[in-house]
Amino acid sequence: MPKQVDPEARRRHVVDALFRVVVRDGLQRTSLRAVADEAALNIGSLRHYFSGQQELMRFAMGSMLERVAARLVDRVEEIGELIDYPRRQQLALCTDLLAELLPLDARRRAEVTVFLDFNTAARTDPSLADLSRQTAEGVRDLVRRILDRLEDAGTLRPGLDRALETERLASLVDGLGMNGVLHPEVLDPDDCLAVLRAHLKGLTR
């Protein structure tokens, strides 16, 4: 009897292989053949699930967005209302939440690396532009929610321009992520967290 294969499990397996190839070799060197070899599949099997490289790339980026978003939603639910915590712990919780987007360990470093490569590719590939925009909007939505919760808890400094502060903090997270991947010898994980903590502290009363 032929072995039954779960299509979704196989797709996830292929996507994980693609991530490893991108982190190791860069997106520009990531081909269907390279991903098939990494996943220990023949290229014909790969084409059974993805019609071509573009479909594979879109599915991989979408899967990455879903994976990170689900993790962040879980963290937000765990935290609940910030007003239930002392002010110092509020800031620690917000820092930890945003730190999910920074290259602080092997898993997050791989995710940020893949994000950077995909977003760079999206600059010249219209087929990836919507996913790149979704990434940027998702970061800003998370930052906005965090600032909303700090304000609801009475922790945020009064009189702040919320739209401006959302963009400042989102841009800070993006910059820390990029430099943490490209220049880890200049900006290590401890430095990333220290900068993020200092910025959040500066937004409070």
Structure tokens at 96: 């930890």
Question: How does residue 2 score in pLDDT terms, banded at 50, 70 and 90?
Answer: very low
- What is the per-residue pLDDT across 65-118, written as a single tens digit (0 to 9) for each? 888 888 888 888 877 788 888 999 999 999 999 999 999 999 999 999 999 999
- What is the per-residue pLDDT across 53-62, written as a single tens digit (0 to 9) for each? 888 888 888 8
Average confidence score pLDDT of the chain: 89
Question: How does residue 1 score in pLDDT terms, banded at 50, 70 and 90?
Answer: very low
- What is the per-residue pLDDT across 142-196, written as a single tens digit (0 to 9) for each? 999 999 989 989 999 999 999 999 999 999 999 999 999 999 999 999 999 999 9
**pTM, whole model, 2 decimals?**
0.87
- What is the per-residue pLDDT across 26-46, written as a single tens digit (0 to 9) for each? 887 888 899 999 999 998 888
Q: What's the confidence (pLDDT) of residue 9?
A: 84
